[in-house]
Amino acid sequence: MEIRIPYSKGHKLLIINNNRVKGVLNSKVEEYKTPGSQQETIMHALNNPVGSRKLRDLSGEAKRILLITSDHTRPVPSKITLPILLEEIRAGNPEAEIKILIATGLHRATTCNEMTEKFGTEIVEREQLINHDCKDKGSMVFKGILPSGGELWLNSLVDWADLVLSEGFIEPHFFAGFSGGRKSILPGIAAEKTVLANHCSRFIASDAARTGKLIDNPIHKDMLFAAEKARLKFILNVVIDSEKKIINAFAGDYIKAHEEGCGFVGSMASVDAVAADIVITSNGGYPLDQNIYQAVKGMTAAEACVRKGGVIIIAAACSDGHGGDEFYRWFTGAASPEEVAVKISSIPQNETIADQWEAQILARILMKSRVIMVSDECSRKYIQDMHMTYAASLEQAFELAEEQAGEDADIVVIPDGVAVIVKCEG
């Protein structure tokens, strides 16, 4: 059997004995056939908004419009979506002042080159693009207390605007349930202290804060509250396949349209867990596999299938390195993943440290299984310092996995670990 695993902007291949493969878990998104082009799919959503009037009608009542978009770490096809959104806005109000706020969350700023690659030259040159800076206290406005008890501080442009809308994409998310919708506000344009409160160790440990779960998810509840206080009025969220092509789109009310989109993704992405000694996966390729921090997401799908003491192989380019100094230091300063987990679990909500949630989840995974990371673009030292095993190729990783699990070990393949919701019994 030839296994094709997304990696950076291409794929890595591995040939293994198919008699040992217990399952290949794929999202049904790849089988979904959209009736029209990507542009037609977007226009159909905009012309049939869920729980809302059309965007061009809402725009006609606004003088100042804030359009929130995703940053360089998210594969939202903004070269396609943004021009259509801007055209719709100006069809309703050609005189409106529009600002495009890049929802960086806690990430670094999107560079000019990354903006050009993501949004296109015309938008970069003609539109007013602003990077959100979560550490810039002077650009924040206080909007109340989150259900969790944390302070809600958001980019003050939400108060500048008469109309706030956002674009994004919906995929399974390893602790928010699903991406998209309200996530453009929190963590997208929230202050650092707000994101930290929302991502506290108690919430990350909650069984309700898992892939595909929204009901009783404490992180989701905070995010909905933030979106309400930001006066988020309209969203356009797309669903993309492994080639990053739009296969569906949902527009309208930030709750109703998002719920409809999550229902679609859930129906496409849900797969039953299959237990195995070795699980091979990826983080979906570029841009989601730019660093180790992001690659933890793909590991969680494998975590749901790998047996205790087994091996996870994840292919992720990680050309951007570890992805966060704080995240990296949790492991370089610890003797074991167990030490990381114990330390983080003792941190109160109001003392949450940046990136501790990613470290908490990685530690949880490493306490269950060995992780072999395949990369020819990331420092071996970074991977090893974070208590994982480095491999330069899938073949090398598979040999290392067999040394531990045995040459007759059974195998499960999850080509794209961020595209599926692995359902476990109970």
Q: Of the residues 72, 107, 132, 387, which is catalytic? A: 107
Give yes or no: 387 in active site: no
Judged on CB neighbours under 10 Å (0-12, 13-18, 19+), 234 is buried
DSSP symbols for 94-163: TT-EEEEEEE-TTSPPPPHHHHHHHH-HHHHHHS-EEE--TT-GGGEEEEEE-TTS-EEEEETHHHH-SE
DSSP label at residue 75: -
Q: Are 28 and 269 contacting, i.e. CB atoms less than 8 angstroms apart?
A: yes
Residue from 72, 132, 173, 220 carrying the catalytic annotation: 173
Provide the 3-class DSSP secondary structure of residue 312: strand
Phi, psi for residue 56 in degrees, rounded to 5:
-65, -30
Q: Which helix (H) or strand (E) holds 76?
A: none
Distance CA 331, CA 16 (A): 33
Tokens of residue 403, six digits: 């040394």
Give yes or no: 173 in active site.
yes
Task: Let me know: does 168 contact 180? Beta carbons within 8 Å.
Answer: yes
3-state secondary structure 197-235: HHCCHHHHCCCCCCCCCCCCCHHHHHHHHHHHHCCEEEE
Residue 29's closest CA among 198, 240, 292? 240
Q: Which two tokens stand for residue 111?
A: 């560079």
Catalytic center residues: 107, 173
